[in-house]
Amino acid sequence: MTDTLNPVARLPERLTLHEAAATLQSLQSAVAAQAGPVVQVDASALRQFDSSAVAVLLEVGRDLQQQGKSLQVTGLPPRLRDLVALYGVESLLPA
* Band (93; pLDDT cuts 50, 70, 90): confident
23-38 pLDDT, tens digit per residue, is: 999 999 988 888 889 8
- Domains of the chain, first to last: 9-86 (3.30.750.24)
* Band (47; pLDDT cuts 50, 70, 90): very high
Q: Is residue 89 a contact partner of residue 58, using CB atoms and an 8 Å limit?
A: yes
Q: What is the pTM of this model?
A: 0.88
- The closest of 47, 49, 64 to 19, measured between CA atoms, is 49
